[in-house]
Structure 1
Amino acid sequence: MNRRLSATLATAVLAGSLTAISTPAQAAPVPGCVDAGKVFRTISAKSTKWVPTNIHSDWARPGVNITYAKNKTGSWTLTNTIGAKAELNAVLAKASASYDVALAKTWSKSDTWRYSAKVERKAGKTKGRLMMFHEAKRFAVKKTLVYNKSGRCAVKTVYKKTLTAPVKRNVNVWGIQYS
């Protein structure tokens, strides 16, 4: 009787082992891309630019001293070439973190602007004017999307763009713009 019990236990243990071995194979996930749908934005080719604003004097000939003194709102706006507002906001947030400075779609500041300078002689230029330039950051942005391709992860580029965005803070320089 002990032998029958041992044989029965051995069969039960062996059957249980086989079940345990075969169960994970049956429960294995179907191959695929667990990261499908993830979006990545990469910021590169960063530089600082000084973009002309709407604050400027009238044109003057070389040799003339120009004085500018007006109460006006200076502004500059990024031209959105990305598309939806939410996408632009995501890109500006990523670029702001990358530069460690707040970037925006627009910059504006109301103030009394005062500046004077002399229009110098420049080869090939016939006139100049005082111009206020605002600090901006130029960068390349690449958006990629992970997707499932035949059970494997694949990456596709959604877009590559170069943008110039104004900094939020009031950082300006004056200069002569020649024409």
Structure 2
Amino acid sequence: MCIIETSPVIETRRLILRAPGAQDVTRIADMANDHDIARMTCRMPHPFGTGDAEEFVIAVAGQDPRRASTFVIEHEDMGPVGVIGLFEGDEADMKHGAPETGYWIGRDFWGRGFATEALEGALVWASKRWKRRALVAGHFVDNPASGRVLEKAGFLYTGETRRKFSIARSGEIDTRMMIWLA
């Protein structure tokens, strides 16, 4: 029997991945209101204000833990530095039974390995606690840094490029697809 954690906490060497709460709204809004971050995501609008952060926290609290888990990435000394989520993705992903993962890191925290560390921790949790054997992810073709993060965490390119809609860009962007197998 699989026990479903409604509010899991994942600990890595430097990070804690936990459910976002009301105390995180201002920090999330401040970090996410950066066009260079929003434009590299599918779901994040720009501008991104406090109201958007409040809606995000409420939406995460209402997630079905069997279908999705979203975490604030918190550094032990610096506080929240980003967000990572694992969720049942679009129909094309789910026909193969593979949920999707996505993440973003606040600009002030780029280049420190936080995305890779958080992703590696989330993958261990996904395989052991969430009982997932595969995850898919994609990165926009103009964001090779995200591809490097995914590669470091063990994702492999599938050879497929999909058009995915970006809210911040108001359009579809070529997205290089990758897969991780436990």
Q: Larger % of strand: which?
A: 1
**TM-score exceeds 0.5:** no
TM (normalized to structure 2)? 0.22
TM-score (norm 1): 0.22
> Which of the two has higher C-alpha Rg?
1
